[in-house]
Chain A
Amino acid sequence: MNKIIERIGKTFIDFFVEAGKMLLLLIEVIKQTFKPPIKLERIFIQMEFIGVKSLFVVILVSTFTGMVLALQSYTGFRRFSAESMVGAIVALSLCRELGPVLTSIMVTARAGSAMAAEIGTMRVTEQIDALTVMAVNPVKYLIVPRIIASILVVPILTIISDYTGIVGGYIVGVKLLHINEGVYINRTIDLLEMSDIFNGLFKSIVFALLLSLIGCYKGYYTKGGARGVGKATTEAVVLACVVIFVADYVLTSFLF
């Protein structure tokens, strides 16, 4: 019995220790962000890696999501002859929910994991110590550009994801399922509001901060060789995904 209580207690303590360390890292990141010299080129390099190189996969995933969404809602709505609503439903679910979430998950899988792996490898091969020894702050050099780049780039990817998803839905709805084109588009424009899009973008900024902070945090505190790097990478992806879904619910319930 004592063992069980001990284990539960330890889990909680570990959780708060980890959350505390992450918060301290975030504070350090904010401090270092505004401390000169500010080197923009490092941010641009990361923006290219996180943004440009995730573009294709984001487009692919959101197009198919839009397509399947149209297909599924069509089957549902046809049962009470509301096929004309398909376009609006696709656009609303994408902008409010799926665009930001799917984009963040894809960026986590591609870039969040890479952040943990790269920074983690640098930790275990003493490259981070080498930075410190050469009087270069590793948080400023490695983590700040990644977090800033994520915050700048994920909302842009989200806009693209919203757009391609809606196009995907349109193709299935209008071209394949032959819903009247005018009705499809008009319903979408009528029901979708700018606030839906902006709230989705706000979410994506929060997700970007979370996924990059978690990726960098897990990498920065990596311990123990190749195995440690593998562990850090897995943990970063799993934790970031879970946190994104939890944050999604919390934000949705407050924002909308």
Chain B
Amino acid sequence: MQENIIKIRNLFKKFGNQEILKGVNLDIPKGKITVIIGRSGGGKSVLLKHIIGLIKPDSGEIYIDGINIAKEKENTLNEIRKRFGMLFQEGALFDSMTIEENVAFPLVEHTKMSLEEIKRRTEEVLSLVGLTGAEKKYPSEISGGMRKRAGLARAIISNPDIILFDEPTSGLDPIMAAHIDNLIVNIQKKLNVTCIIISHDIQSTFRIAHKIAMLYDGIIIAEGTPEYMKSLDNPYLKQFIEGSSTGPIQVVDNE
């Protein structure tokens, strides 16, 4: 039996009059890559932000190793957050700092490591993502792909148990996208971490996922291994995987 590190139960969230999540139930297996797919603007990012406590749900529970973070106070949340790393869609690097300072930030803030150690560790993760030589550059001076890799380096530097990825391959050329996919797979194997990825990149999803869940209209409509998902006869899922504009999912629906 799989051990689930994160359990989401009956998650509801409304922004104004718009219901984004309408009862999400999802288990995230430990030490695996789970990809959550769905339309843009369909609430994937909102779901991801719930998992790390950036957004509080209207109702429902999010258990991380048995602790319901929906009810926890900021202090406890911060302790739990230290177990996480997150790669934001545009990298979200601090543009007043160099790449090196950005990547070292979690260590500088939360550990008593010496400068030497921090420098060594920073070099280590930067070489892991293939960014050796860009240490002294500022985020505005490097390309989008490099920014994502720097963001990834920052997400893994403090050895998290769980890494969240907000559309890691969007806006990248196919070769860079494949490269990021490889990085994710390698890092996951190497560090044996739990990865949660939200994506609408079907190619990349089937390349890396151990588990896929599809979010549509505020609920998880299908979940399982990539093979299982391919075998399902769900018309919504089929349309999404095939990338067809005709089918039960209306294009104007979510706009």
Which of A's residues lie within 8 Å of B, judged by CB? 121-122, 125-127, 129-130, 132-137
Contacts and interface: CB of A to CB of B under 8 A. Distances in A.
A130 B110 contact: no
B110 A133 contact: no
A135 B92 contact: no
Interface of B: 49, 52, 54, 74, 78-79, 81-82, 84, 86, 88-90, 92-95, 105-106, 109-110
Contacts of B52: 133
Nearest to A133: B86
Task: Give the 5 A-B residue pairs with the shortest CB-CB distance, closest first.
Answer: A126-B92, A130-B92, A135-B78, A135-B81, A133-B86
A133 B94 contact: no
Given A133-B54, A134-B109, A125 B81 contact: no
B165 to A, nearest CB: 12
A133 B90 contact: no
Contacts of B90: 125-126
B78 A130 contact: no
A130 B81 contact: no
A129 B106 contact: no
Contacts of B88: 126, 129-130
B110 A127 contact: no
B49 A129 contact: yes
21 contacts: A121-B95, A125-B92, A125-B95, A126-B88, A126-B90, A127-B94, A129-B54, A129-B88, A129-B92, A130-B93, A132-B54, A132-B81, A133-B52, A133-B54, A133-B84, A133-B86, A134-B81, A135-B78, A135-B82, A135-B109, A137-B74
A133 B94 CA distance: 13
A126 B89 contact: yes
A135 B49 contact: no
Contacts of B82: 135
Contacts of A125: 90, 92, 95
A132 B106 CA distance: 11
B53 to A, nearest CB: 8
Contacts of A137: 74, 78
Nearest to B105: A134
A129 B92 CA distance: 8
Contacts of A136: 109
A136 B52 CA distance: 13
Nearest to A45: B96
A146 B89 CA distance: 28
Given A126-B89, A129-B49, A130-B88, A135 B94 contact: no
A248 to B, nearest CB: 33
Contacts of A130: 86, 88, 92-94
A135 B54 contact: no
B74 to A, nearest CB: 8
A136 B88 CA distance: 16
Contacts of A135: 78-79, 81-82, 109-110
A133 B89 contact: no
Nearest to B77: A135
Contacts of B95: 121, 125, 127
A122 B78 CA distance: 20
Contacts of B105: 134
A137 B92 CA distance: 16
B109 A127 contact: no
